[in-house]
A and B are shown apart, each in its own frame.
Chain A
Amino acid sequence: MNEKEIFEMTKHIDDQYILEASPSPRKNIKLKKRIITFGIAAAITASLSVGAFAAYKAFNKESVATYYDSSAVEKIEQKGYVSEEVANNKHFDLNLDSVMKDNNCIMAVVSVKGLDETAENYIAQSTQMCCNLVYSDNNEKVNGFAAMFGWQPYEKGKAYPMRLCVPVNTVMGVVDLSRPIRLDFIRDENNTVAVDKDFFKDLSLELKDIKQAKSDKFYSADGKMLDVSEFTIVTNGDWDENAELTADKTIIHYKDGTSEALDQKVNAITNNLTPENKSVTIIDLKTLIDPENIDYMEYLGVKYTRK
Chain B
Amino acid sequence: MQDNELIQLFFDRNEQAISETSEKYGRYCLYIADNILPTHEDSEECVNDAYTALWNTIPPEKPESLKAYIARIVRNAALTMLRKNKAKKRGSGVLEEVLDELKEAATDSPESITDAKLLSELINGFVAGLEKQQRVIFVKRYWYLSPSKQIARECEMSVSAVNTTLHRLRQQLKNYLEQEGFTI
Contacts and interface: CB of A to CB of B under 8 A. Distances in A.
Interface of A: 1-15, 17-23, 25, 27-30, 32, 34-35, 37, 127, 151, 153, 189-190, 192, 242, 244-247, 267-271
B11 interface: no
Contacts of B177: 1, 6
B113 A5 contact: yes
B102 A242 contact: no
A18 B145 CA distance: 12
A35 B153 contact: no
B1 to A, nearest CB: 9
B88 interface: no
Contact of A269 (B133, B158, B182): B158
B120 interface: yes
B9 interface: no
Given A12-B120, A15-B68, A23-B28, 19 more contacts: A1-B111, A1-B113, A6-B102, A11-B75, A12-B116, A14-B120, A20-B135, A21-B139, A21-B144, A22-B71, A22-B144, A23-B154, A29-B154, A242-B149, A244-B159, A245-B152, A245-B153, A267-B156, A270-B153
Contacts of A4: 99
B8 interface: no
26 contacts: A1-B109, A3-B100, A3-B105, A7-B98, A11-B75, A13-B124, A14-B124, A15-B64, A17-B124, A17-B127, A19-B67, A20-B132, A20-B135, A21-B136, A21-B143, A22-B28, A22-B71, A23-B31, A25-B27, A29-B154, A127-B132, A189-B67, A244-B152, A245-B157, A246-B160, A268-B157
Contacts of A190: 67
Nearest to A281: B153
A153 B76 contact: no
Nearest to A154: B132
A245 B158 contact: yes
A61 to B, nearest CB: 23
Given A1-B107, A13-B127, A37-B27, A153 B119 contact: no
Interface string B11-47: 0000000000000000110110010000010000000
B107 A153 contact: no
Given A244-B158, A245-B152, A246-B158, A10 B71 contact: no
Q: List the 8 shortest-distance A-B pairs measured between CB atoms, nearest first.
A: A15-B68, A268-B156, A21-B139, A3-B102, A12-B120, A30-B153, A21-B136, A9-B123
Contact of A15 (B65, B100, B122): B65
A268 B140 CA distance: 19
A10 B156 CA distance: 24
B72 interface: yes
Name, among A13, A35, A271, the residue most crowded by chain B CB atoms within 10 Å (CB to CB). Answer: A13
A8 B98 CA distance: 12
B58 interface: no
B112 interface: yes
A286 to B, nearest CB: 12
Contacts of B50: none
A3 B99 contact: yes
B103 interface: yes
Contacts of A247: 158
A11 B65 CA distance: 16
Contact of A3 (B69, B72, B103, B144): B103
A15 B69 CA distance: 8
Contacts of B112: 1, 5
Contacts of B81: none
Nearest to B27: A35
Interface in B79-118: 95, 98-103, 105-107, 109, 111-113, 116
A21 B135 contact: yes
B142 interface: yes
B78 interface: no
A66 B40 CA distance: 41
Contacts of B95: 7
A23 B107 CA distance: 31
Contacts of B152: 244-245
A13 B139 contact: yes
Contacts of B182: 1
B94 to A, nearest CB: 11
Contacts of B142: 7, 10
A50 B105 CA distance: 53
